[in-house]
Amino acid sequence: MHALQLIAPRTFQRTEVPDPFDTLPEEHVAVRLRTAAVCGSDMPYFKGEVADPFPLEVGLSIHECIGEVSASRSGRFRPGQRVLALPFHQRGLFEYLALPAGRVFPIAEDSPPHHVLAQPLATVLWACRKLPSLLGKRVVVLGQGPIGLYFDQLIASGGARQVIGVDLVPERLAAGARMGATACIDGRSTDVVEAVRELTDGEMADVVVEAVGHQPATVNLAIDVAAQGGDVLLFGVPTEKPYPFPMRAFFKKNLNLLTSVDPDLGRYFPLAIDMVQRGVVDVAPLATHSFSVSEIAAAFRLVEARTEGVLKPIITFDW
């Protein structure tokens, strides 16, 4: 079967690997990949920021996937069924994925390609369960990429008094305003701490969500904009390097530090799919660009550049 491999930073190469049908274990499903979306957590592999030497393992890096069941050894799935599939360790760049049935989730047969974005929504829903009641709260969301925009929408619907989005990209700030943010701060030209102070009448943020990751600056900023006794949720994926941490400021503010990873798949993926299919959460505005599999490097480069208003490129696997 076809597969892709990063043989150097920013360089994909098509290769061939054995298909999974002859060795499919019990309670496993073979899924033919049809659609995927690029996530920020895929970018370190593309840019060569991971510790592993090149070439990387075949299949890195995609993990937001929709396909159809090609073969099944599980009574829960039948050939031809449309599914959301979650590959292991972000190794999703294969023509077919062989997965345990617990990592495959039914979706409606007429689901459009952008419904693949139920996958990142599930991770946000899992994180939101850790947040306190949002009724009447002032909330800052650092990062207005797709994840930050999900937080905007869910927090606004949870009754927050203010949802303040922060980003460096004007198009993402505009998207935040459309997705539930009551105010947006451009971190390129504005002192974010002072802007939050002004917007909250000096009270600062009861809840701060860090939805950027891959660097420590926004972790420190989250602590700076938090109110006394506030909650700070670190959602963005950290690098492997140790982070400098403003322990004294964190301690003196009496803050609560929250993190979120490894969602309960069996509960939160079906929930996200249901919310998307019923229109409770509108994911369509996040799907900003479309590419064929032969153009996958261009899709990744666009996400890296954060230009052209990109939020989520959708990849069609027309091998």
Closest Cα to residue 214, out of 38, 40, 6? 40
Among 244, 259, 274, the domain boundary falls at 259
Mean pLDDT of all residues belonging to the chain: 96
> Residue 247: which residues within 8 A CB-CB, separation 6 or more?
none
Do residues 145 and 52 share a domain? no
Residue 78 sits in which domain range? 2-117+283-316
Give the pLDDT band of residue 86 (cuts 50, 70, 90): very high
Tell how far CA 261 is from the center of its chain: 11
| C-alpha–C-alpha distance, residues 307 and 304, integer Å | 8
Domain assignment present for 272: no
58, exposed or middle or buried, with CB in 10 Å at 0-12, 13-18, 19+? middle
pLDDT tens track for 265-286: 999 999 999 999 999 999 999 9
Domain assignment of residue 193, yes or no = yes
pLDDT of res. 5:
98
Distances, alpha carbon 65 to alpha carbons 19, 23, 36, 103, 184, in Å: 18, 22, 4, 11, 31
The reported pLDDT for the residue numbered 94 is: 97
Q: Are 46 and 305 in contact (CB under 8 A)?
A: no
Judgement on whether residues 167 and 216 belong to the same structural domain of the protein:
yes
Question: Does 253 lie in the same domain as 141?
Answer: yes
Q: What pLDDT sits at residue 23?
A: 84
CA atoms of 319 and 301, how far apart (whole Å): 20
- Would you call 292 helix, strand, or coil by DSSP? strand
Question: 90, 88, 92, 109: which is closest to 100 by C-alpha?
Answer: 88
Let me know whether 174 and 219 are in one domain. yes
Specify if 126 maps to a domain. Answer: no
- Residue 274 falls within a domain, yes or no? no
Instruction: Give the domain CATH number at 221.
Output: 3.40.50.720
Q: Are residues 214 and 243 in the same domain?
A: yes
The answer to whether residues 36 and 61 belong to one domain is: yes
* Residue position matching structure tokens 């305003």: 177
263 has which bridge partners? none
**How confident is the model at residue 271, as a pLDDT?**
98
Residue 241 tokens, joined: 């390097």
Strands 312-316 and 287-292: parallel
- 188 shares its domain with 307: no
Minimum mean pLDDT range among 18-27, 78-87, 156-165, 251-260: 18-27
pLDDT digits (tens, 9 = 90+) for 40-66: 999 999 999 987 899 999 999 999 999
Give the pLDDT band of residue 239 (cuts 50, 70, 90): confident
**135, 213: one domain:** yes
Same domain (yes/no): 98, 142: no
Residues 243 and 144 in one domain: yes
In a domain, 167, yes or no: yes
Please report whether residue 267 resides in a domain: no
> If pLDDT is split at 50, 70 and 90, which confidence band does 21 have?
confident
The values of phi and psi at residue 26, to 5°, are -60, 145
Helix axes 118-128, 265-277, angle to 10 degrees: 120
Inform me whether the pLDDT recorded for 22 exceeds 80: no
Give the number of domains in the chain: 2
pLDDT tens-place string over residues 143-189: 999 999 999 999 999 999 999 999 999 999 999 999 999 999 999 99
Q: How far is CA 32 from CA 28, 224, 251, in A?
A: 13, 46, 50
Where residue 37 sits, what CATH number does that domain have? 3.90.180.10
Whether residues 145 and 101 share a domain: the answer is no
Segment 291-306, tens digit of pLDDT: 999 999 999 999 999 9
- Residue 266: inside a domain: no
pLDDT of res. 303: 97
Terminal Cα distance for the chain, rounded: 10
Tell whether 219 is covered by a domain: yes
- 217 sits in the region (left: phi over 0; alpha: psi -120 to 50; else beta) called alpha
Is the domain of 135 the same as that of 251? yes
Nearest to 126 by CA among 266, 232, 220: 266
Closest CA to 270 of 147, 139, 164, 125: 125
Mean pLDDT of 218-233: 98
pLDDT: which is higher, 112 or 23: 112
